[in-house]
Structure formats: structure tokens, C-alpha cells
């Protein structure tokens, strides 16, 4: 290789290395991002979160990130319902959406629940979706007509329901829950938080034990 060409390549290589070093230095020296506005802080519950049970003063807040098509969520459903009854008044129970990409109908189900919520019927649709999960879950195609049928069975205003399903804001509401979950480290469903702390589930009774411990600590 001729000396002038070799010298040019070396100079070019040095320039590239210096540019990379400069970029890395700039990134590492960047000032910390400012704290988000109060309403945007990382949190397990927001003002528009769906509350199934509201406990009394000093109640423990239990938050579940769920996917209506998730079989594990379906298996936990009766456990959750039992805990809601047993700890009535001692817990505030909050449900948030976390549709998983591997479930074809999970987003459609969440949209149905959110559309029902706009008619103050969230819990009715919540129950219907879990009680019928075996009928529509694990399909290879989306079946929005099934969920519309549930809306009709529940006596919802179908025109309002259809408008809510078509409104991009309804999907944005679902995605906002999932975004919060991802920031909190949620990777699977169901995922539970008690008073802002993630619950580690290794056995069926772990959620109950965590609730009992939290209630005892608050007394």
C-alpha cells in the first residue's frame, strides 16, 4: 500500500475513533433528565385506573396488571375474587391492562372492557371476559364480534360501544396502562403490586400472604 493512501486511511480511522469517543463523552456527561410532571410520575395507580373495590381509611392498595386472554390470569381470577371478598374493606383493588402480543384477542378484550367502562360497566365486562375465556381465547384471528355480543348481553348501548371501540383514544387508554406496567418492570401477567411494591409469586398462596402481611403492617 502506498504511503499517502495508508496515511489517509490511518487519519480517517483516527477521526472515526475520536468521533465515537466524543459521542460517548457527550452521552455520559448529559445532565439527568428532569423529573416528569406530577401527573406523569412512575406509579402503579392513576386517577383513571379501574377500581373494583375501594377499602376504608388505611386500606392496602392491590394492583393487578392483567391480560384477559392469559390463562394464568384466568386461573388467578377465582383466587382474586375470593381475596376481594375475604379482605373487603381492608384492600383497594385496582385492575390495569397489560395485553400480551402473543395473545391475538387480548387487545380486543381490553378494548371491550374499556368501552364498557365508559358506560360504568367495567366490572360486569371484567367478569364476563374471564368467565368466557375458554370460548374465545387462543384463537388464530381476532373476534371483536364476540365481545360485541357480550356488550349486547350486558345491555350496553351498542352505538356508544361501537363508537368507543372505533375511537383511537380507547386504544390509547389501554396502551397507557401497558406503558406504565413496562416502566414498572412488568413482563408477564398477572403481575401484582401491593402499596407500590411488586409481589413475587412462586406459589398460589403468595398473593394472599403478601396482602395479609401488608394489612398487618398497616395496623
Question: 124 - beta bridge partners?
Answer: none
Q: CA-CA distance, 63 to 196, in Å (whole number)?
A: 8
Looking at residue 34, its pLDDT comes to 35
Question: 193 - beta bridge partners?
Answer: 63, 198
Q: CA-CA distance, 133 to 160, in Å (whole number)?
A: 24
Q: pLDDT-based confidence at 11, cuts 50/70/90?
A: very low
Residues 125 and 93: beta-carbon distance below 8 Å: no
- Per-residue pLDDT of 162-181, as tens digits, reads 999 999 999 999 999 999 99
- Per-residue pLDDT of 22-69, as tens digits, reads 322 222 222 233 334 444 446 899 999 999 999 999 999 999 999 999
Q: What is the mean pLDDT of residues 188-215?
A: 96
Question: Which positions ≥6 away from 198 have C-beta within 8 Å?
Answer: 184, 185, 191, 192
Looking at residue 43, its pLDDT comes to 86
Looking at residue 217, its pLDDT comes to 81
Question: 115 - beta bridge partners?
Answer: none
- Per-residue pLDDT of 67-117, as tens digits, reads 999 999 999 999 999 999 999 999 999 999 999 999 999 999 999 999 999
189 exposure class (CB count in 10 Å sphere: 0-12, 13-18, 19+) = buried
DSSP, res 186? -
Angle at 62 between CA 171 and CA 70, to 5 degrees: 50
Looking at residue 107, its pLDDT comes to 98
Looking at residue 20, its pLDDT comes to 32
Q: What is the mean pLDDT of residues 140-166?
A: 97
Q: How far is CA 173 from CA 11, 59, 76, 92, 145, in A?
A: 53, 26, 24, 21, 21
pLDDT of 202 strictly over 70: yes
Looking at residue 158, its pLDDT comes to 98
For cell 416528569, what's the residue? 36
Q: CA-CA distance, 148 to 171, in Å (whole number)?
A: 16
Q: Of 101, 39, 43, 95, which Cα lies nearest the Cα of 70? A: 101
Mean pLDDT score of the chain:
85
Looking at residue 130, its pLDDT comes to 98
Looking at residue 210, its pLDDT comes to 98
* Helices marked H in the chain: 3-28, 71-86, 106-117, 122-131, 133-136, 144-153, 158-166, 168-183, 206-217
pLDDT of 133 strictly over 80: yes
Half-sphere exposure for 90 (CA within 13 Å, toward CB):
15
How far the first Cα of the chain sits from its last, in Å, is 81
Looking at residue 69, its pLDDT comes to 98
Amino acid at each position: 500500500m502506498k504511503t499517502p493512501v495508508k496515511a489517509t486511511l490511518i487519519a480517517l480511522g483516527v477521526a472515526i475513533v475520536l468521533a465515537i469517543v466524543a459521542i460517548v463523552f457527550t452521552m455520559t456527561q448529559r445532565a439527568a433528565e428532569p423529573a416528569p410532571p406530577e401527573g406523569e410520575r412512575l406509579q402503579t395507580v392513576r386517577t383513571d385506573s379501574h377500581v373494583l373495590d375501594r377499602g376504608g381509611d388505611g386500606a392496602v392498595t392491590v394492583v393487578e396488571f392483567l391480560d384477559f386472554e392469559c390463562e394464568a390470569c384466568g386461573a388467578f381470577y377465582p383466587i382474586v375474587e375470593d381475596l376481594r371478598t375475604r379482605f373487603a374493606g381492608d384492600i383497594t383493588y385496582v385492575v390495569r391492562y397489560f395485553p400480551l402480543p402473543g395473545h391475538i384477542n387480548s387487545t380486543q378484550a381490553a378494548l371491550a372492557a374499556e368501552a364498557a367502562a365508559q358506560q360504568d360497566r367495567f366490572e360486569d365486562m371484567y367478569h364476563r371476559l374471564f368467565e368466557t375465556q375458554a370460548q374465545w381465547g387462543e384463537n388464530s384471528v381476532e373476534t371483536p364480534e364476540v365481545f360485541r355480543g357480550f356488550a349486547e348481553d350486558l345491555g350496553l348501548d351498542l352505538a356508544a360501544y361501537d363508537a368507543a371501540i372505533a375511537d383511537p383514544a380507547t386504544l390509547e387508554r389501554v396502551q397507557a396502562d401497558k406503558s406504565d406496567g413496562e416502566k414498572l418492570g412488568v413482563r408477564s401477567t398477572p403481575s401484582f403490586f401491593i402499596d407500590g411494591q411488586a409481589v413475587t409469586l412462586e406459589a398460589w398462596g403468595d398473593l394472599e400472604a403478601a396482602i395479609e402481611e401488608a394489612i398487618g403492617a398497616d395496623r
